[in-house]
């Protein structure tokens, strides 16, 4: 599926792919779920471990989430991201968290997601 870059000022689109996954309308390979977050494998992994962690609330990006989410939602989501990384065994070897926000980042799905990547040496953060 071809997706356009996310417009950060657009309202939340309830038909985005991750909203459909959260509602159970599209399948995913679930890694973790609690009241605040769902984690599942990226469909096109770019590292041996590549998991996406999404908050359950309707937030387009980190910008939207950090401005509008409640303290409970923010704490719950942050704790879930850390817990998933620990449960995946990524802490000792190390891992990278990526959150793309808006056009220059290449964000394609307009529901906040953190990429958790690991399982190999990931090289430079931003390739030269």
Distance separating alpha carbons of residues 128 and 122, to the nearest angstrom = 14
Q: State the nearest-atom distance from the C-beta of 71 to ligand 5GP, in Å.
A: 25
- Please report which helix (H) or strand (E) contains residue 65, including its range: helix 62-68
Binding footprint of ligand 5GP on the chain (CB under 6 A): 17, 28, 40-44, 100, 106-109
Q: Which is nearer to ligand 5GP, 69 or 117 (CB)?
A: 117
Look at residues 17, 18, 54, 50 and name the one whose alpha carbon lies nearest to residue 39: 54
CB of 12 to ligand 5GP, least distance (A): 14
Q: Distance (Å, rounded) from C-alpha 61 to C-alpha 79?
A: 18
* Catalytic hit among 36, 111, 113, 115: 113
Nearer to ligand 5GP, 57 or 100 (CB): 100
50 is catalytic: no
Q: Which is nearer to ligand 5GP, 72 or 96 (CB)?
A: 96
Rounded to whole angstroms, the Cα distance separating 16 from 88 reads 26
Catalytic sites, residue numbers:
113
């Amino acid at each position: 599926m071809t997706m356009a870059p996310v417009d950060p000022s657009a309202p939340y689109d309830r038909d985005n792919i991750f909203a459909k996954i959260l509602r159970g309308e599209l399948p995913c390979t679930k890694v973790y779920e609690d009241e605040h977050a769902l984690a599942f494998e990226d469909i096109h992994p770019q590292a041996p471990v590549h998991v996406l962690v999404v908050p359950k609330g309707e937030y387009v990006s980190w910008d939207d989430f950090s401005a509008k989410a409640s303290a409970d939602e923010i704490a719950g989501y942050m704790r879930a991201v850390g817990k998933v990384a620990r449960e995946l065994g990524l802490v000792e070897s190390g891992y990278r968290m990526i959150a793309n926000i808006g056009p220059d980042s290449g964000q394609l799905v307009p529901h906040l997601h953190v990429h958790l990547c690991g399982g190999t040496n990931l090289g430079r953060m931003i390739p030269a």
